[in-house]
A and B are shown apart, each in its own frame.
Chain A
Amino acid sequence: ETGVTQSPTHLIKTRGQQVTLRCSSQSGHNTVSWYQQALGQGPQFIFQYYREEENGRGNFPPRFSGLQFPNYSSELNVNALELDDSALYLCASSLGTEEAFFGQGTRLTVV
């Protein structure tokens, strides 16, 4: 148990729809990062939030957006879903640059 919780665990959406994924960080952690893991691949960095501000972004289009709240929980929003967005979305929390602990992930299927 890492103390990082994600919801929902599974989700099925239709192409073109929008989705919001949620992450509660481990107590005391102020940094949340989001990763996309396609089947058979390693996780790819989407973006990171530190104290409610975006603190770096990977090679993902603007339809991937996020928020971090004052309690350091976070949301990942994806607009105009495409079939290739089907993946496991992982949230990781950390205290600044210290080691990151991952949640169990949200499995998103786009049909």
Chain B
Amino acid sequence: GEDVEQSLFLSVREGDSSVINCTYTDSSSTYLYWYKQEPGAGLQLLTYIFSNMDMKQDQRLTVLLNKKDKHLSLRIADTQTGDSAIYFCAEFDTGGGNKLTFGTGTQLKVEL
């Protein structure tokens, strides 16, 4: 079955880069997503990468995909206090419905 794992916490100083890591198991995933969740809120789609890509950059966000190791990372450049949130990676799975399988989330804390 599918399993997506993330580290639980990450603390960085404002202005530094943050790197959030994720491993997944379903090699047939076509898309991999990053979502952001602020306290008491729903999920905000940040970015996604197609499985035949190695890297995608979108302003301060860089996604790296190592398909051989099934490893996905999200780098946030110049991290700001407003980036403090929980970040979820998710793999898109077409088996049993077109569903997203989420990791447990990484809580990013940005300190001054």
User: Which residues of A line the B interface, CB within 8 A?
Assistant: 2, 4, 6, 31, 33, 35, 40-45, 47-48, 50, 55-58, 90, 92, 94, 96-97, 99-105
What is the chain B residue whose CB lies nearest that of A44? Answer: B102
B99 partner residues in chain A, CB cutoff 8 A:
33, 45, 48, 56, 58
B57 to chain A, nearest CB (A): 18
Q: Is the Cβ of A42 less than 8 Å from the Cβ of B94?
A: no
Contact A56 B98 (CB under 8 A): yes
Secondary structure of the B side of the interface?
strand
**Residue B88 at the A interface, CB < 8 A?**
yes
In the complex, residue of chain A having the shortest beta-carbon distance to the beta carbon of B89: A42
Q: How many residues of B contact A (CB 8 A)?
A: 24
Q: 3 nearest interchain CB pairs?
A: A56-B97, A42-B102, A45-B99
CB contacts under 8 Å to A, within B1-21, are: 4
23 pairs of residues in contact across A and B, judged by CB atoms under 8 Å: A35-B100, A40-B104, A42-B103, A42-B104, A44-B102, A45-B99, A47-B97, A48-B99, A50-B98, A56-B96, A56-B98, A57-B97, A58-B99, A90-B42, A99-B31, A99-B33, A100-B100, A102-B35, A102-B42, A102-B43, A102-B44, A104-B41, A105-B42
